Structures are given as C-alpha cells and as structure tokens.
Amino acid sequence: MPPIGLSTADLASLPGRLVINGDQRQSVTVIEADLVTLPLTDTQAEFASQPTWSPDGQSVAWSRVMSDGTASVVVSSATDGSSTEYITPFQVFYIQWRPDSGALGVLGAGGEGTALAIIDLGDGQVTQKHSAGSFYFVWSPDGKTLVTHLNGSIIELVDVATGRRTPIDTETGTFEAPQWTPDGESIIYIRPIIIQTAGLGGLVAAQANRDELVVHNVATDEVTVLAEDAAMNGFSLSPDSTEIAYTAGRSGVETDMFVVDLATGERESLEVGLVFAWQWSPDSRKILVFGIEDAGIVLRVWNSGTVTDYFRALPTGTFFNRYLIFWGQYTRSMTVWAPDSSAFVFAATDRGDDYVFLQRIEDGFPSLVGPGSVASFSPGGDSTD
C-alpha cells in the first residue's frame, strides 16, 4: 500500500481535544490545540490501554497493568493530569462511562469468559457483577440500568444497585451492543424473524432467513419493527434520534448499508461499497464508513446523500484487532469525530510505524498528528465544555 499523502493544513486549529494511546500502548496523552500535550501515564505502567473520555469531557479513564501483574483502571483529569487508581479483579479491556460521568462499567477476562465490574467514582467501590461467554452492554440514560447482550442470544436488563437481572429476549441476531432510546424507555436490537409452520403435531416455530430491527419497550413489552432484511449485523441510532443506520449481509460476502427515517419509515440505500464499520457524526448529517478495499480500509463519508472517498490505509494492529472488530460496542462509548463534525481521526500503519492522522472533511488529504495506536475525540471541544 502506498504511503499516505499528507495535508499542509495547520494543526493549530485542531477541532477538539484528542486522547492518544501510544504506538506501543505504554502511554496515554491528551492533545489540544497547537498540539499542546498532557501525558496521563507515568513510568510505572507496564501496559496502558483503552483510554476513554468521560461524557462531560473532563476526564479520561484508562486500563493499567503493572510489572507485577496488578490490574487497575486509572481516572485522570484532562485538565491537570491528576489521577485516581481503582484496583480491578481482572485486566480491563473495555471501559464505558455512566452517562453522568460518575461511574464506569468495565469488561475483562473472568468467570465464564468475559466478566463485568462496576467502578463507582463516588465511594471508590469496585463491584464485580456477572459474566458470560460473550458480553456486550450499554448504560441506560439515567445510569440505573444496563442492557446486556450475552452469548449472542440473550438480552437482559441489569439493575446496577441490586444486581437483579431481567431477561428481555432470548432469540437475538448477529450484532454486538444494543442501544437505548434517549428517553430510556426502550432498547433497540436485532432478532431473527420467527415463523409458524404446520407440522404433524401442530404449529412449529422456525427461523426465517431474515432478521428484524426492533424497538422493545421494557415497561409495556411492546415491540415495534423498524426494518426487516437478510442477515442484519449492525445498527446505530443517529445522535438526533431521527434516523437509524443498519447493515445487512448479502450472500455472506457483501454488506449493504441503509438509513431509515424514523418519522416516515422510508428507507434509503447508501452506495458506500463494502462496509466493515461506521459511525454517525455528532451533527447527524454524516456517516464515516470504514470500507474494505484492496486489503485495507478506505475512509469514506456519506454526507446527506453525497459520498466522498478520503484516504486508504492499513489500520494499526491495536485499532483493528481491539476496536474495529468490536465496533458495534465501541461506537456506543467513543467517537473518532470532532465535536463540530468537521473532521475525524484514524490510526494507521504507514511504512512500518503507527501514526494518528486527522482528516478534515473539507481537505483532500489527512494531517499527521503524531505516533499512536488509537485516538478519539473528547465529546466537548475544550476542557471547559
């Protein structure tokens, strides 16, 4: 793959703060305008990973492993770098903040495969909950409940205070993390369509070769179907909650992408090629698509009906293996988009080294930010937001 061409745009106008995991995953750094840096790690950490912005943009949580094997999560101020460490029962490989920035849900290896723990930043308590072979989760808007997707088949609600688990659906489709509606009343997920067929003993339930994208009201148990398609495998509600994008596999090779207008029910097919992952922009007008092309990733943006190709790149091993493969979960907790939707970041391997690039929507080429294995934007433009 040829080297990535670079823009000559001035990075002094960086459209928001970035957190960058170092190229060897031994450092975590916040970068602001004029490329002013604030290191969050120290020399004691053997391994630093999973830097995740708090929803209020004031802090970064990251996973730490010491040389003696002690695992913890560190919460660092994005203003002065001061930190608080929370010892965890396992090495954490995923972090998601509670919406009010007062607690963390974290995942790591344990129990049946993947275990969940809650870290309360108020009292400092770290409480291990339950585990499953595969485990995806999202906090409710009020922070009192988690919705989990376990073992690729079970949707449950978990009361964070009591640990009580309530099954919602036991027949789900091929996707990772569910999503809450903004009012906290319903969850969105994919499930196979079950049809009734006549058999010798009466009606027999069987799966059709199609899936449905549904909104499930957890109080009334009412289910509304948003879309039906073959081999649905991912979805995401737009930030303004007016549209939902989803992908559906075709013959196990191609993946098509669609956007459904939730007010009218109209569906638009997006001509964006083979889709590996995607993310809505904060203004809900654009979708960044990680497309598959020529044994690499092509970065393209769908913008209100217009598709623009940017650069082609080979993602860093960290970004691909630990983030993009599980993007259905990560898109619920981090963003590569600038707060004003004017740019995005991407971590790529270029000529054997790992770098972070910034792509402005109005620029033809990306700008080099610096070394790094993964990067994400703060939800706010600066530390006072």
Q: What is the pLDDT of residues 225-240, one digit of tens each?
A: 999 998 899 999 999 9
Q: Is the pLDDT of residue 133 over 60?
A: yes
**What does the pLDDT read at residue 206?**
54
Q: Is the pLDDT of residue 269 over 80?
A: yes
Q: Is the pLDDT of residue 302 over 90?
A: yes
Q: b/e string for 20-47 if b means 16 or more Cβ within 10 A?
A: bbbbebebbbbbbeeeeebebbeeebee
Q: Is the pLDDT of residue 124 over 80?
A: yes
As given in the structure block, the two tokens for residue 336 are 């590569």
Q: Is the pLDDT of residue 1 over 50?
A: no
Task: Compute CA distances 340 → 32, 205, 301, whole Å.
Answer: 15, 48, 15
**What does the pLDDT read at residue 2?**
44
Q: What is the mean pLDDT of residues 352-358?
A: 93
Q: Which of 211, 150, 148, 147 is nearest to 185 (CA)?
A: 147
Q: Is the pLDDT of residue 330 over 90?
A: yes
As given in the structure block, the two tokens for residue 253 are 């090779």
**What does the pLDDT read at residue 6?**
79
Judged by DSSP in three states, 339 sits in: coil
Q: Which of 373, 378, 300 is nearest to 14 (CA)?
A: 378
Q: To the nearest whole number, what is the mean pLDDT of the chain?
A: 91
In DSSP terms, which residues pair with 87 in a beta bridge?
72
pLDDT class of 216 with cuts at 50, 70, 90: very high
Ranges 213-217, 270-274, 378-382: which has the least confidence:
378-382
Q: Contact, 207 vs 193, CB < 8 A?
A: yes
pLDDT in tens, 14-29: 899 999 999 777 899 9
| Model pTM above 0.75 | yes
Task: Compute CA distances 166 → 75, 96, 149, 170, whole Å.
Answer: 31, 21, 12, 11
